Structure 1
């Protein structure tokens, strides 16, 4: 019975948010949305609510830009024939890179083989992949195309 007389949790949150906004608007000198008696009238006026929200949002720091992955082409020149190529492919799989396209050119009697792949990466991740490839002993050189 007593629980029926108490306001719901959602109503308490709305009232608390209104009073918090009222205090902020009084500090800023904006008109209050409450009646002269100081009690809440049930619905704040839209102009004072917007001005408080605008003031709150304008004080926030700008969010950092989100970078999304795009398909980037990376080419590695590998020594050691098929064994060197398999080492590069194993590294790509072990690091869970999202390889979209992979092409390998292995020729018998040639010093270097070519491994080219298209991977879904951001610009920073692509630079990191090229550095990881360059650190491998089997890789002669690597570049982002």
Structure 2
């Protein structure tokens, strides 16, 4: 696309130079050249518009991808912090509780020995910075 734009600009410059030649402007060829120059200029303008639109679209896609990557990193950080809080607590067995974070909402899954342990896990998760909400899919083990 860029090569075509450059070619159009070169052609326009060549026609402009030809038109500046003495005696050329009075001929029928000059009228034809004027039409060609106008057409090349219009085509060049359209090409520039397409390049600008493509650039804007690429910028928007890049910005969206960066936002998604940032959210993924934020969720991974929240998951790690919640898991660390569970590991540090003596009541909850961090090995039995899985932590999933999606857009700041933490979901705890797995098995706990008693309902109080599940409540403690939820409490710990809710105090972690960056957590927007906590869901429990914990199951109490039956003896």
The two structures have a TM-score, normalised by structure 2, of 0.35
Instruction: Considering Cα pairs closer than 8 Å and 6+ residues apart, tell me whether 1 or 2 has the greater RCO.
Output: 1
The two structures have a TM-score, normalised by structure 1, of 0.34
Higher strand share: 1
Structure with max Cα Rg: 2
